[in-house]
Amino acid sequence: MPRNPGVPWPLVDRKTGYCMFDSYAIAAIALVLLSSSYLVVAILGVRNFRSKLKAPESDRNWVPVTLLKPLCGMEVDLVENLRSFCDQDYGTFQVIFGVRDSDDPVIEVVNGIIEEFPDHDISLVVNDRTIGSNLKVSNLANMYEAARYDVVVIADSDMRVGRDYLKVVALPFEKNEIGAATCLYSGSARGGLASKLGAMFINDWFFPSALIPTMFGDLKFCFGATMAVRRDALQKMGSFEALANVLADDYMLGNLIAKQGYRIALVPYIVENIVHEPGLKALFLHEVRWARTIRSVQPGGYAMSTVTETLPLAVLASILLYMSPSSPLLIASPVLCVLALRLVLHGSVAGTVNGERTFSPWLVPLRDLFSFVVRICSFFGSKVHWREQVMVVQSNSHLQNAR
């Protein structure tokens, strides 16, 4: 039935008896309900997690920890990022930096940090041994040989933490059933529009979406911001060799630990991810890699997570209402309703992570449109760009070199 803007939108037209609740309207209402429900749950999840953030207890016999930091090349704010992991208010801990290339300029940075903290147990491993297609995992395997303690913490090079970081991460290991612990992370932009959009993706999409599974069940995976694991649990899952050929090493590490009967703890701490994207193309390739990685390990969940594309779905709902006999006010209502909730989520996340530094409501429509384009492209192809490599993601996140 063609749209008639002059007809209001009751369920049944009183004059003709025609039901206005047609298939277009039903589909539109379903889209709005799905999007709005996701946003409401996400807002509640973020605010609930915020209430758990608190300073750790200071008087404890902290378990000794080995911290592994895989490095590859120079990055923005790298010195401050690495220093933050060495300058910890903690008891006994060891820091091991790992580099594959003996000519990597990051070696000079690490040597400077070692000189800055002469009383700390900090070392550098330079080893190009390769155990699989994931070179980061090969780096970790090489560093692991020098690890002395039974709790091993892994954190990426573009992360930054406070001095209480290790206390919060190590605390769950007082319980024997905990095999691994992980942290959420927020984005902090360094640079122009691409970096701001990249940080916004982490804050507005990853952060709340990662919280939702923890609201309804036990965590079964880890996040790359922090992967802390017991040595015995790591050995039972096959050590780093079990991750040698997968792209989603963080997800798979937690998943394999959980399959050994251990629990995964989400610690109440937010690691800061320093985001620097040289341009929109680099950001696009980065996010397509993330999307295709998630699709490879959770194809069903990734398809269902389309509901998180809230503003594009609201626009689609409005188009469907335009195709039904709806009033102009009703046609605009999906976008207005979802946009209001979307801005509340944006503000809730900003208030939980970095406050004013991440609050950019004017960028929300652009960010959501960019995410929608990335999602569409993620379904067409399996190639990913990762540093200097072009890889093909196969089933269950396994990698092979692109030909």
Final residue before a domain boundary, out of 252, 276, 294: 294
**Residue ranges, the chain, pLDDT below 50:** 1-14, 16-20
Q: Write the CATH number for 255.
A: 3.90.550.10
Q: Quote the CA–CA distance of 328 and 321 in Å, as a whole number.
A: 9
Q: What's the token pair of residue 56?
A: 């750790």
pTM (2 d.p.): 0.85
* pLDDT at site 19: 46
Same domain, 61 and 30: no
Final residue before a domain boundary, out of 265, 294, 323: 294
Same domain, 338 and 255: no
- Residue 295 neighbours by CB under 8 Å, 6+ apart: 302, 378, 379
CA 352 to chain centre: 16
Q: Quote the CA–CA distance of 49 and 211 in Å, as a whole number.
A: 8
* pLDDT at site 4: 47
**pLDDT tens-digit readout, 27-82:** 778 888 888 999 999 999 999 999 988 777 666 778 999 999 999 999 889 999 99
* pLDDT at site 58: 65
Same domain, 67 and 208: yes
- Please tell me the total count of domains within the chain: 2
Final residue before a domain boundary, out of 279, 294, 309: 294
Residue 262 domain-assigned (yes or no): yes
**β-strand 263-275 against 389-393: which pairing, if any?**
unpaired
Same domain, 213 and 330: no
Rounded to 5 degrees, φ, ψ at 148 are: -105, -25
The radius of gyration of the chain's CA atoms, rounded to the nearest angstrom, is: 24
Segments forming the whole domain that contains residue 110: 55-294
Same domain, 124 and 68: yes
Strand-pairing partners, residue 69, are 97
Rounding to the nearest 10 degrees, give the CA dihedral for residues 312, 317, 322, 325. Answer: 180
* pLDDT at site 61: 77
**pLDDT tens-digit readout, 310-342:** 999 988 888 887 777 666 667 788 889 999 999
Q: What's the token pair of residue 45?
A: 């999840």
